[in-house]
Amino acid sequence: MTNFSKKKIRSLMSKVLAGLSDQLVEAESTSVCEKVLNLPEWKKSKNICLFMNMPKMEIRTHDLVNEALKQGKNVFLPRCEGRHTMSMYQVYNTNHLIKNQWQIPEPDGSSPKVMDDETFCDLIIMPGVAFDSNLARLGHGRGFYDDFVHRYKAWCFQKPSRCDIFKVGICLSKQVLPNGQIPMSPLDEFLDLLVTPQNIYKRP
C-alpha cells in the first residue's frame, strides 16, 4: 500500500477485512481486550470513552464496554450529531442503545455527555481503518474522532485542573501497516498507544 491515498487505503483495507473469518476476528478481539484491561492507563482511569463496533470488518468491543461498566468506570459512547461531529454520552448498560445509519449501536442523547459542565474523559479508545507502529491512525473519512479530540483539548485548555485525554487505538492484526504508509495531515491526531492482538506500541 506504499504511497496510496487515504481513499485507496480504505478501499484496499475494506477488501482485506471482508475476507477475515468470524473466528479470527473474535479471537483477536479477545486478545486485544485482555491487553487493554491490563494497561496502567485503563486501571487508573475513571471516565472512559469507548465505542461499539460495526457489524462487520471491525474489532469487537462489546465485552470491553461491559467490563468497563462492571468495573464501575464511567463509560461514554459516541453519538453522531452531524456530518462530521459526534458527542460522547454516558451509558449505564448496553441494553437501550439505538442503531444508527451504519447499524452501530449508540446512545439516545438523553444522558450526560463529555464537555457538559465538568464531565471530562481521561481515556479514549479509538477505532480506525488502518494504523502503524508510529501511532498514525486512519479513520473512516468523516473526521469524527479527530474533531472530538480537538474540541476536547480546547475545552481542557480552559480547565487546567483536568489532564489531557489519553488516546488508545485498538485494531485487528491485518490493520497494521508498515510505518510511513498512512498519510497524516496537521489535523490528524496521532495516538498515544496502539494495542493489537500481538503487540502494544507506545510513544518512545
Are residues 189 and 145 in contact, defined by beta-carbon separation less than 8 angstroms? yes
Q: Would you state the pLDDT for residue 203?
A: 84
Instruction: Output the known binding site for ATP.
Output: 6-10, 137-145
C-beta neighbour count of 93 within 10 angstroms: 10
By C-alpha distance, which of 164, 139, 3, 121 is closest to 84? 139
Whether 138 is in a domain gets the answer no
Q: Would you state the pLDDT for residue 160?
A: 66
Whether 141 is in a domain gets the answer no
Residue 37 has phi, psi (to 5 degrees) of -65, -20
Question: Residue 80's domain spans which residues?
Answer: 6-128+146-199
Q: Would you state the pLDDT for residue 32?
A: 99
Whether 135 is in a domain gets the answer no
- Residues of the chain scoring pLDDT < 50: none
Whether 17 is in a domain gets the answer yes
Angle at 60 between CA 55 and CA 65, to 5 degrees: 115
| pLDDT digit string, tens, across residues 66-121 | 999 999 999 999 999 877 789 999 999 999 899 998 899 999 999 999 998 888 99
Whether 137 is in a domain gets the answer no
Q: Whole-model pTM above 0.75? A: yes
* Max CA pair span of the chain: 47
Task: Quote the CA–CA distance of 170 and 83 in Å, as a whole number.
Answer: 24
What is the total count of domains within the chain? 1
Domain CATH code at residue 88: 3.40.50.10420
Instruction: Output the known binding site for substrate.
Output: 52, 58
Q: Would you state the pLDDT for residue 2?
A: 60
By C-alpha distance, which of 145, 137, 140, 135 is closest to 199? 135
Whether 204 is in a domain gets the answer no
Please report which helix (H) or strand (E) contains residue 32, including its range: helix 22-37
Radius of gyration of the chain (CA): 16
Instruction: Output the known binding site.
Output: 6-10, 52, 58, 137-145
Q: Would you state the pLDDT for residue 102?
A: 86
Whether 14 is in a domain gets the answer yes
Whether 136 is in a domain gets the answer no
Q: Would you state the pLDDT for residue 135?
A: 98
Tell me the CA end-to-end span of the chain in Å, nearest whole number.
25
